[in-house]
Structure 1
């Protein structure tokens, strides 16, 4: 696929893959956790809308896949705003891929009160062969059931999430298509990661390292393990989202992907809406 960056079908596929794996975090939750966090997920005019009303974190309160199934219209945007208003969030953002229609979606969003907030980078890697490992003292293995709380602890400290939201990411443990991993040093879990597989695509989902344990190559080792597991599962592509790598705000995850052969598919703008 030489012109993969221009292939709207490919873009739609990987956007839908992200919407599927991210929404599973919400769908797998049950009370009292759902009530405690104010969790909700719904499809509004073809757009997957996820909300965590008790936690003001934009990654948790975002709309994925807009303009892929139906063209963006003012009525469409009004319905999305209404969803988040009813959910009780303070703010949210809409993520718009290059496959979104119509081309003037920015003008529509601006007219509805949205502002450009930042960009996320979408990467992909074609899986042609397994990759050889590199020297490391870390042990990479699949997460065991008694270790799920340790996984949550790593994610909590890595991202400084609040309100207990870090437990979202082990709700999918042992669910179809999901694998969770740990990186251990002297039998201590210092990093964690997960992967979601569906059809020919694999997604590198949540991943984090304890702040005091960074710089030991844990994430590179976890990425490598997931690449090879995705290849063994018959996937053709592995995809991931990271922050944009900017001189004033560098992204270690972004740079790790490039080092391991991932290619930038596109930068995806995030448009924020704030309730007053």
Structure 2
């Protein structure tokens, strides 16, 4: 693999982006029952009243200290304290201990479909984008200004099948103008149809929230947003680009994965998701 990025930076880049994303305004945090804690070198994020079962996550572990039964029990105890019904633990395969199966049995963790961690050199991604030179078909791509924050949040949530109104929209729209975030969008005329965001951390540019409304798909919007974020990351001094998406099972096709591979990303590793549920205890 050409893009050799330390696994700890690849994992911390994602963890810190999610930690910052969930640092929403206080009234939003209260409505969603949000809480966060730094623990064992990782981050533990809870959204008690999450209507999507997506936002409660624990990740970034295994680099400052080893993954142990005590650490995982402490993570689970945090979720119990918060009244969180379920959460997803995401650990790089290189940090899983030999007794991981026993830890899962003890704490009630169950394996769920995997994600892939993708990485790329920022310089390589920009060079590839410059060489391709293909603009999106009839779409205008650019950064998101404050006046477009609500439309940007609404389009992203709608594209991911999440509720567009209420506190989730408040959490997502707060990204616009937040430190270290660079939100981008694609417009079809006056309509905002594609979203994406870049988060800057430790020389890495974390790519998140790439989504396009169904009627605007297949026009190159996401490829153009990948290129725009790569250029922004390079301009900010990032050496690496990092992203995640679902792994493909037999007969499956993940368009986001193939867009990123065409943009120059490479699969660093496949990472199993582990689900904890309070009801199981």
TM-score of the two chains, using structure 1 as the length reference? 0.91
Q: Is the 8 A contact 1:151 1:170 kept in 2?
A: yes
With over 3 angstroms needed to count, the CA separation of the structure-2 counterparts of 1:77 and 1:255, relative to structure 1, is same
- Aligned 1:1-276 pairs, distance under 5 A: 4=4, 10-27=6-23, 29-129=24-124, 130=126, 131-132=129-130, 133-136=133-136, 137-162=138-163, 164-276=167-279
> Alpha carbons of 1:3 and 1:22: their partners in 2 closer, same or farther (altered >3 Å)?
closer
CA contact (8 A) 1:12 1:99 kept: no
Q: Secondary structure at the match of 1:86?
A: helix
Q: How far has the Cα of 1:248 moved from its partner?
A: 4.2
How many residue pairs match? The answer is: 271
By how many angstroms is 1:257 displaced?
Answer: 0.8
Deviations along 1:209-237, one digit per CA (max 9) or x if unpaired, are 11222111111111111112212222111
Distance in 2 separating the partners of 1:122 and 1:247: 19
The structural deviation recorded for 1:147 is: 0.5
Write the distance in 1 (CA, Å) between the matches of 2:66 and 2:100: 9
- More off after superposition, 50-59 vs 103-112: 103-112
Shift of 1:117: 0.9
Structure 2, unpaired ranges of 5+: none
Per the TM alignment, residue 135 of structure 1 is displaced from its structure 2 partner at its CA by 3.5
Q: CA deviation at 1:198?
A: 2.2
SS of alignment partner, residue 205 of structure 2: strand
- More deviation in 154-163 or 201-210? 154-163
How many Å separate the matches in 2 of 1:2 and 1:152? 35
| Partner SS for 2:157 | helix
In 2, Cα distance between equivalents of 1:48 and 1:199: 16
Question: 1:169 touches 1:206 (CA, 8 Å); kept in 2?
Answer: no
> Does the Cα contact within 8 Å between 2:198 and 2:229 map onto a contact in 1?
yes
Query: How much does 1:139 deviate?
Result: 0.9
- RMSD of aligned alpha carbons: 1.9
